[in-house]
């Protein structure tokens, strides 16, 4: 079994959003429920709305950028995709339409596009471990369909 996704996926998908949402939610609650006279009468209105804005922006960012990340493994015949709560498998030759790699800042992402809608949708994104993916490509050449790098 070959793992294609990075070990950092679990950290980015679960730990970072839970940790930062907890910290920002606690700060927002404190900002909204503290009495003004505790800060020598200074107005906390902009601070309160700023913390609320930061919390909402962070949650939306986590939902859009990190939550869709998947853990991906393969045996060369099937690709196993997991969101850490459930796992689905697809056949490389029948179910997978394309495999695309992209770079963003320090990270390398890949997208598996299916012929039809699967358990996690039609497109599944994951954080690539470069050495593991290169090792898989060397040992089983020709398995990845329409491999593109951008």
Residue 104: predicted pLDDT = 84
Please report, for the domain that includes residue 107, its CATH number.
2.30.29.210
In this structure, are 78 and 114 located in the same domain? yes
User: Does residue 75 sit in the same domain as residue 105?
Assistant: yes
pLDDT value at residue 76: 85
How many domains would you assign to the chain? 2
> Are 43 and 87 in a shared domain?
no
Query: How many other C-beta atoms are found inside a 10 Å radius of the C-beta of residue 116?
Result: 8
CA nearest to 100, candidates 67, 142, 132, 146: 146
| Dihedral Cα 109, 112, 113, 115, nearest 10 deg | 180
* Confidence bin at 37 (pLDDT 50/70/90): low
Express as a percent the part of the chain with pLDDT over 90. 53
Q: Which of 30-39, 127-136, 140-149 has the lowest mean pLDDT?
A: 140-149
Taking only the tens place, the pLDDT of each residue in 38-62 is: 666 567 788 889 999 999 999 999 9
Regarding whether 145 and 75 lie in a shared domain, the answer is: yes
Are residues 117 and 62 located together in one domain of the fold?
no
Q: Tell me, yes or no, whether 83 and 122 share the same domain.
A: yes
Indicate if 52 and 99 belong to the same structural domain. Answer: no
Helix (H) or strand (E) holding 125: strand 121-127
Q: Quote the pLDDT of residue 18.
A: 95
CA geometry: angle 132, 135, 138, nearest 5 deg: 155
The burial class, CB within 10 Å (0-12 / 13-18 / 19+), for 39 is exposed
Considering the domain architecture, whether residues 17 and 59 belong to the same structural domain is answered as yes
Q: 92: domain range?
A: 71-149
Alpha carbon distance 70, 25 (integer Å): 26
């Amino acid at each position: 079994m070959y793992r294609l996704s990075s070990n950092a996926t679990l950290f980015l998908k679960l730990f970072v959003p839970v940790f930062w949402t907890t910290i920002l939610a606690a700060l927002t609650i404190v900002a909204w429920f503290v009495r003004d006279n505790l800060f020598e009468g200074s107005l906390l209105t902009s601070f309160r709305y700023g913390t609320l804005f930061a919390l909402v922006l962070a949650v939306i960012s986590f939902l859009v950028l990190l939550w869709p990340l998947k853990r991906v493994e393969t045996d060369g015949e099937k690709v196993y995709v997991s969101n850490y709560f459930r796992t689905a498998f697809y056949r490389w030759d029948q179910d997978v339409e394309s495999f695309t790699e992209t770079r963003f800042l320090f990270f390398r992402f890949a997208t598996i596009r299916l012929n039809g809608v699967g358990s996690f949708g039609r497109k599944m994104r994951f954080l690539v471990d470069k050495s593991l993916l290169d090792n898989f490509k060397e040992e089983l050449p020709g398995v990845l369909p329409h491999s593109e790098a951008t």
